Amino acid sequence: MPADRFVVVDISNSFAKIATVRERGLGKVERKATADLDRPFLQSLAVRHAGAPVVLASVVPAKTEIFAALFSRSLFLVHGKAPLGFAIEYPKPSEIGGDRLANAAAALHFWTPPVVVIDFGTATNFDVVNASGAFCGGIIAPGLDLMTDYLHERTALLPRVRLLEPKRGIGRSTVEAIRVGAVHGYRAMIRGLLERIREELGTDRLTAVATGGHAALVARGLAEVACVRPNLTLEGLRVLGQRWLAEPRSGRGARHRARA
């Protein structure tokens, strides 16, 4: 097996993404509902990738424990106290999700800091790397689906809608009005938060990149966002995995796991 072949896994609250890294690139990305990551599926994954190291970012502790048991021989669990190769300027590093740290690793690999990664998931995270190349914090906002689903669930007449680009700025139907509020409103929120980040960092030079489920839709109308990278978190895990596997075996050990 080539030394640079390993598996990267990003487990969010809603979905997991799994990919094999070969020849310094990502293979086909498998997407699966997090609820379906049961032990039989993960056992089949272990058989498919027998012997391959695994680099894991997970925000679902129950799934993390199954991975830790099945891939115990060579597992790199990304967390705030793991050797990541960049500084963390954060009061409690253990509180930082592994996906956010993977985003920071990708940001430093592909762009010159300061960089902010806007990750559109169940929540929308803004992961900030300052000018010195340190992860320094961010912002967590409700995700677009959470907002629109909540409207439907908490009202008698508002429907659940499929999020699409609105045709105008003033909705001419209930569905269109919800889309305007969600898409245009979300863009306005992002503009305001990016401006606040620039002010706090004390710079006009800030690269903003987007990833995650609704990134393409929202970023389409945001000149402030330089580009959309759908699998940026997995790319960050790839970067961290290559760095980890390049360490002397005695230095990296069999695995790194979060400790309470």
Catalytic residue list: 99
Torsions phi, psi for 246 (to 5 deg):
-80, -15
- What sign does the CA torsion over 205, 115, 228, 180 have? negative
Half-sphere exposure of 45 (CA within 13 A, CB side): 26
**DSSP secondary-structure letter at 27?**
-
- Please give the single-letter amino acid code of residue 173: S
Dist. CA 260–CA 256, nearest whole Å? 13
Helix (H, G, I), strand (E, B) or coil at 212: strand
Are 227 and 209 in contact, with CB atoms under 8 Å apart? Answer: yes
Helix (H) or strand (E) holding 4, with range, is none
